[in-house]
Amino acid sequence: MSESLTRQPGPSLLHLDSSADRGSVSRGLTGSFADIWRSAHGAAGYRHRDLSADPVPLVGPAYVALGTRVERHGVVPASRVEALIGDAAEEREWALTRSLIAEVLAADVLLFGVPMYNLAIPAALKAWIDRVSFPGLFTDPDTGESLLRDTRVVVVMARGGGYGPGAPLEGLDFQTPYLRAYFRRLGVAEEHLHFVAAELTRAGDIPTLAGFQGLAAESLAAAREAVTALATRLTEPSLATS
């Protein structure tokens, strides 16, 4: 494989959307972030992946077999994985996986658009997470440190109902705790994790939520403001490339 699994010079943004709705709130918010980023840095370091329109294949038996074999050797650098491939099926799985991991490691900022589906994240995003979570490839084999320790992660969420303090569905938000735990386990620093949520996004078209349209508008306005502030701050060279 020719792509590098190391961070490239210059600020870079990997933008991933996972909503099946082309006009979704999460897509609109991540699009605003990306617009601010491109205005500051141009398009050279920007990459967009639509996980709904172009889904990542689910991991299969060959992925598991290769990952297990690699893990038995401890922390294996990407350059040594090919030597452990056992057959053509494993080679195909590695080709699909390596390119996605390369995108992550090349990015200074990871931007995720995440609608709430059935209290959690979309299957399209989970398929991406399962594939990029190949054993050891986010760990420096020489130091044991995470290769994502300086990466900024921005998760922009949209929820049809209300899940905040005092809401009837409070405590049923399984997006935020899951994604926070996942990225922290990969070694992303807590201070580099940013979560923004727009709630009650279905208040305009679900009759039982009609009384919450004012709160929905306030939540969306606050989310837009937060996304703009984050995009502006993270486009500063000292933050985006540190």
Q: Which residues are annotated as a binding site for FMN?
A: 19, 24-26, 116-119
Enumerate the known binding-site residues. Answer: 19, 24-26, 116-119
Dihedral sign, CA of 24, 30, 31, 32? positive
What tokens were used for 165?
A: 């303090």
Are 53 and 147 spatial neighbours (Cβ–Cβ below 8 Å)? no
Strands (E), the chain: 13-17, 46-50, 109-115, 152-158, 193-198
Give CA–CA dist 206/119, Å, rounded.
17
86: how many CB neighbours lie within 10 A of its CB?
A: 11
Picking from 197, 240, 224, 222, the residue whose alpha carbon sits closest to that of residue 42 is 240
At 186, which amino acid appears? L
Give CA–CA dist 180/30, Å, rounded.
18
Give CA–CA dist 241/153, Å, rounded.
13
Alpha carbon 179 to chain centroid distance? 9
Size of the chain in residues: 242
Are 134 and 67 spatial neighbours (Cβ–Cβ below 8 Å)? yes
